[in-house]
Structure 1
């Protein structure tokens, strides 16, 4: 088939299936068949056939209300992604230690293009709200985890982000390329990122890099605490210790040269929120 014929015939079957799956997301966790067809740009009859096949395989599930949701089969396949599977297994003991040490929200993310994808999150019921979710994405420039990943990303990726328009999630979000460049240099120099009110004016995050066996930064973890009264210096040692522990579990030589152990408790008398 010639390119002209392909253009006339529209997206391939694979493209149509991916369009259906892409219709789901935050705020669109449950969709009617007509809603799926509309979001995917497909005729209702085509959507009906493809959605039926996806539901039969388990990629979608149809609830009693007639709406479709992402199925467990798709989650099972996604959980096998190599960057998530081994990382999450090795990271979990340190994430749990960090969670117990701070009693705050703990997150682990990896870079995908110009976004951070969260692969794990431990949320304390009384902690400040967070907008991340497992499998969710955020722009690199706006989050602590993202700034760490961007700071250690290839130079070409950094320049692409710096040259592109940057969304302001709050009035404090860094959107100026010169300011972001300085911030990334500080992250590399200090080995930690502190983002105050960049995603939510009520929250502050402290993030540190996680390295793999070749010393490249493969992930980043963070703790999110209330911005009011927060003292980042009280949180940094625990975050760094957790990041080193995960790096050591992943085989990073630099982490093996330094004591990483389990996460140490916060300094005596220190509170994760400075209160």
Structure 2
């Protein structure tokens, strides 16, 4: 019965992690009864472990006595992300210095691309994104290069959904996108023009994690009329991407995100 009996053979660490995982599903405050029900732990076990987590600062109670993520746990989680961002930021500055264009780094979050950091160039370019903002994977250079290197099942899941057309030039035909993504995988970079904002073009390269899995994308935005010259920035983009890969090491690229934002 849910919440009645602790799972046999489960360690104390596993039980604590199951409690913390409740708040991964949703940050909404929970009562002890709700935590016990969601973890399938006995109420007495739940009470004891939650009390220990509260004492340490991993959980805290709101004004109604319900439990939520504590500030100490939040601060602990920020350390990994802060370290990765501190590594990536000066490399992004280097890329701007080498190209004099607006540059950014992004990761995938569900079926969107999430922009983590950006250094703005001096030239006026129509901007469709901001740090912490999201755009469709299929319509951006950073999103396309990530999607091209994701597992096939994930690509198909994204392409099976209704694809938003941000401008009349957004590529939304699934078959055409499959062919485009195959070409991106082969040549190692993506380019777009007028797909999310009329008057803007972009180019992006992948940033890999261990064993060749895609972690992020590094991109550059310029005016649409500069599309034919964007490829000259590929050596700089690829060089900085490799430096990010070697500097970040085993840290998950997802920790680049400063915080989880909602639309």
Determine the structure 1 residue equivalent to 2:94: 97
1:170 equivalent in alignment to 2:158: no
Question: What is the root-mean-square deviation in Å for CA atoms of aligned residues?
Answer: 3.2
In structure 2, stretches of 5+ residues that fail to align are 3-24, 30-61, 251-263
1:239 equivalent in alignment to 2:209: no
Deviates more, 1:216-225 or 1:124-133: 124-133
Determine the structure 2 residue equivalent to 1:148: 145
Is contact 1:79-1:85 (8 Å) kept? Answer: no
Q: Aligned to 2:170, what secondary structure does the other structure show? A: coil
1:189 equivalent in alignment to 2:186: yes
- The structure 2 residue matched to 1:219, chosen from 201, 216, 221, is 216
Is contact 1:105-1:127 (8 Å) kept? Answer: no
1:139 equivalent in alignment to 2:136: yes
Structure with higher helix content: 2
Is contact 2:100-2:122 (8 Å) kept? Answer: no
TM-score scaled by length of structure 1: 0.61
Alpha-carbon distance in structure 2 between the residues aligned to 1:179 and 1:81: 42
Alpha-carbon distance in structure 2 between the residues aligned to 1:78 and 1:111: 23
Q: Aligned to 2:163, what secondary structure does the other structure show? A: coil
Alpha-carbon distance in structure 2 between the residues aligned to 1:162 and 1:142: 12
Q: Aligned to 2:201, what secondary structure does the other structure show? A: strand
Alpha-carbon distance in structure 2 between the residues aligned to 1:103 and 1:214: 32
1:201 equivalent in alignment to 2:207: no
Alpha-carbon distance in structure 1 between the residues aligned to 2:76 and 2:130: 15
- The structure 2 residue matched to 1:123, chosen from 96, 116, 120, is 120
Alpha-carbon distance in structure 1 between the residues aligned to 2:76 and 2:159: 30
1:228 equivalent in alignment to 2:238: no
Q: What are the within-5 Å matches in structure 2 for residues 72-87 of structure 1?
A: 80=78, 82=80, 84-87=81-84
Q: CA deviation at 1:235?
A: 1.8
- Give the number of aligned pairs: 193
| RCO higher in structure (CA 8 A, sep ≥6) | 2
Determine the structure 2 residue equivalent to 1:113: 110
In structure 1, stretches of 5+ residues that fail to align are 3-13, 19-50, 58-72, 253-275
* Distance 1:182-1:78 versus aligned 2 partners, 3 A rule: farther
Is contact 2:201-2:226 (8 Å) kept? Answer: no
